[in-house]
Structure 1
């Protein structure tokens, strides 16, 4: 049979019988007080384990939320891609260079389009969408539907603010056409 810790300490000469009896008496007093006052002794190791378990659950919950957000974002981008591919206009026979500012990186980009598509883009009847770093011309109503899902996918829609003319502008009577080529 193995010896108790107190017996082992006494055997090594680290504790004497008086100290051992004093420690046992103190332990009995603590237990008696705990029973009398119904005080629960807090086990620190159990509390630490419980705290670690709760922290792990919270961390797992956060990771799960991040995964769900990423999945939702991929689903939305797949929907946007499908909508753009379905509604895109054919630009194969385009011979007019149409320049626009990509709102995602504020750089001037250009597409070759037909004259009719150029006019429709200038009049805001058409829009330019970006999917996987490629640009497509789509109808304005489809661009509005795509913008509801992903605002960043719509790169360009012409602004119709020609109705706001400054009264002090000396050139207000001279209208610059939208399809002016330099």
Structure 2
């Protein structure tokens, strides 16, 4: 078998033993450095991949958290609407009677506020209670219902758009400086 180049040069006397050992030592160092640089590049590549994976996991966790918050908000809104509907069905009564009661309904559609005059037919007793603020008018889907003022307060806390008409509870006594306090409006006067 053939001898290595270093052996052949040594035999020919062109190099001495010390130079051969120095050359072999330099060759081993160079091979070792190449291995380390390849391992470093591979480690750097794996670090980049790990960083990308960690970033993707963090982004996915954030997306999942946002979706979960949206789901929870939707469920909470649905439960709130069910609670309002139940309160209206439990405490609300349909307006029935032959006296027309007019009120204004405020609606917000696409950021535009509109006020419309609406009417319900109620009994004389319900008309007096509505005027005194004992009863309120609330919207239950596409119809109006009469609800006691205490229940209306709870509905206002949940969703103010449900309560359509609410008369302020105030005293019917005229103020001291009212110039018309001596003139009494007859009860049987219908507008």
TM-score normalized by the length of structure 2: 0.63
Give the alignment partner of residue 28 of structure 1, picking from 15, 36, 61: 36
Structure 1 residue 61: deviation in Å? 0.8
SS at match of 1:156: strand
Q: Deviations over 1:123-158 (max 9, x none)?
A: 100011112132101111121222233222222211
SS at match of 1:109: strand
Does the Cα contact within 8 Å between 2:100 and 2:122 map onto a contact in 1?
yes
| Residue of structure 2 equivalent to 1:56 | 60
| Residue of structure 2 equivalent to 1:98 | 101
In 1, Cα distance between equivalents of 2:63 and 2:99: 55
| Residue of structure 2 equivalent to 1:16 | none
Distance 1:179 1:100, change over 3 A: farther
SS at match of 1:104: strand
Distance 1:132 1:90, change over 3 A: closer
Distance 1:85 1:29, change over 3 A: closer
SS at match of 1:91: coil
Distance 1:125 1:30, change over 3 A: same
Does the Cα contact within 8 Å between 1:122 and 1:178 map onto a contact in 2?
no
| Count of equivalent residues | 152
In 2, Cα distance between equivalents of 1:97 and 1:56: 59
In 2, Cα distance between equivalents of 1:115 and 1:128: 15
What runs of 5+ residues in structure 2 fail to find an aligned partner? Answer: 1-29, 109-114
| Residue of structure 1 equivalent to 2:140 | 131
Does the Cα contact within 8 Å between 2:98 and 2:122 map onto a contact in 1?
yes
In 2, Cα distance between equivalents of 1:88 and 1:116: 16
In 1, Cα distance between equivalents of 2:106 and 2:151: 18
What is the Cα-based RMSD across aligned positions, in Å?
Answer: 3.5
1:67 and 2:75 are equivalent in the alignment: no
What runs of 5+ residues in structure 1 fail to find an aligned partner? Answer: 1-21, 35-39
In 1, Cα distance between equivalents of 2:187 and 2:47: 78
1:147 and 2:147 are equivalent in the alignment: no
In 2, Cα distance between equivalents of 1:63 and 1:71: 12
Q: What does residue range 76-95 of structure 1 map to in structure 2 within 5 Å?
A: 76-92=80-96, 94-95=97-98
1:45 and 2:49 are equivalent in the alignment: yes
